[in-house]
Amino acid sequence: MEISLQDIYKNLLRIRDWSLVTKASVCHSVIITSASYSPWGDDVEFLSVYDIIRGNTLVDLYRCYELWSLVRQMASVEGDILEIGVWRGGSGCLMAKRAQAVAPSKKVFLCDTFEGVVKASEHDTKYIGGEHSDTSVDTVLGLAGKAGVNNIEVLKGMFPEKTAHLIADRKFCLCHIDVDVYESARDIANWVWPRISVGGCLIFDDYGFPTCDGIRRYVDETFPRTGSLFIHNLNGHAVIIKMRD
């Protein structure tokens, strides 16, 4: 049976804006856009890397492509790349692979406890601690080898308490925060924000998801702050761009 694009959208629009029952303290609904431009579909290099890393990440295609694009856009901004909340290394290796091509002088630091989510609290709707512990440093390094990535450094331990001192003298053009819970995101952002270069950005991976309402709450409480631009992308990302010190 053949179906036209118009018929597809007509059926999808029937469920657009349906409210969802969640534990989050704000409205969540079905989001469907009429836009269809999909640049990742024409990006052969991205697709080849994504095919390698997709089994090692919980970050979907849309958010992965945004990270890929932001690494390129941050190529001329001073500083390295930082990711906290690495799991099995998919998004980190994706960014590192892109950085090798567009900004080979930049280092990519991948930070994780490798023992699961930490600092879950009453602010959070789903996580209680210890989730996503099914990983290891060797898993990340194995993926890096498979992807041909040679510009990463893995820091194991709670961030910032245990490992931030190793990179305290660095500036960063991009920091990807994927830690699922309020207190962890708060502590990371407080540490890294002064080290973000003007024109650089923070990306909160979990902002738009009802299971991570603590992230949404923290970002809404804190940003946009003076000197920053806050963008909520409908893919679920919150992107904070530093406009001035």
CATH number at residue 135: 3.40.50.150
HEC readout, 27-85:
CCECCCCCCCCCHHHHCHHHHHHHHHHHHHCCCCHHHHHHHHHHHHHCCCCCCEEEEEC
Task: Please tell me the least confidently modeled range out of 24-33, 161-170, 184-193, 234-243.
Answer: 24-33
Residue 112 domain-assigned? Answer: yes
- Kindly indicate the confidence band of residue 196, based on its pLDDT and cuts at 50, 70 and 90: very high
Residue 54 domain-assigned? Answer: yes
Q: Which residues pair with 112 in a beta bridge?
A: 156
What pLDDT does residue 1 have?
A: 56
For the segment 148-185, what is each residue's pLDDT rounded down to a tens digit? Answer: 999 999 999 999 999 999 999 999 999 999 999 999 99
- Kindly indicate the confidence band of residue 2, based on its pLDDT and cuts at 50, 70 and 90: low
Instruction: Give the Cα separation of 153 and 171 in Å (integer).
Output: 15
For the segment 47-72, what is each residue's pLDDT rounded down to a tens digit? Answer: 999 999 999 999 999 999 999 999 99
Question: Residue 11: is its pLDDT beyond 80?
Answer: no
Listed as own residue / partner, the contacts of 12-20 with beta carbons closer than 8 Å and 24 or more positions apart are: 20/210
- By the 10 Å C-beta count (0-12 exposed, 13-18 middle, 19+ buried), 56 is classed as buried
The number of domains in the chain is: 1
| Edge-to-edge strand list for the sheet holding 196-204 | 152-156, 108-112, 80-84, 172-177, 196-204, 238-242, 228-232
Residue 4 domain-assigned? Answer: no
DSSP 8-state code for residue 225: P
Higher pLDDT, 20 or 233: 233
For the segment 83-141, what is each residue's pLDDT rounded down to a tens digit? Answer: 999 999 999 999 999 999 999 999 999 999 999 999 999 999 999 999 999 999 999 99
Residue 27 domain-assigned? Answer: no
Domain, as residue range, for 138: 48-242
Instruction: Give the Cα separation of 157 and 162 in Å (integer).
Output: 6
- Three-state secondary-structure class, residue 87: coil
Residue 173 domain-assigned? Answer: yes
Residue 215 domain-assigned? Answer: yes
Task: Please tell me the least confidently modeled range out of 7-21, 28-42, 165-179, 227-241.
Answer: 7-21
Nearest Cα neighbor of 162 from 144, 184, 141, 143 is: 184
Average pLDDT over all residues of the chain? 94
What is this structure's pTM?
Answer: 0.93
For the segment 206-222, what is each residue's pLDDT rounded down to a tens digit? Answer: 999 999 999 999 999 99
Residue 133 domain-assigned? Answer: yes
What pLDDT does residue 231 have?
A: 95
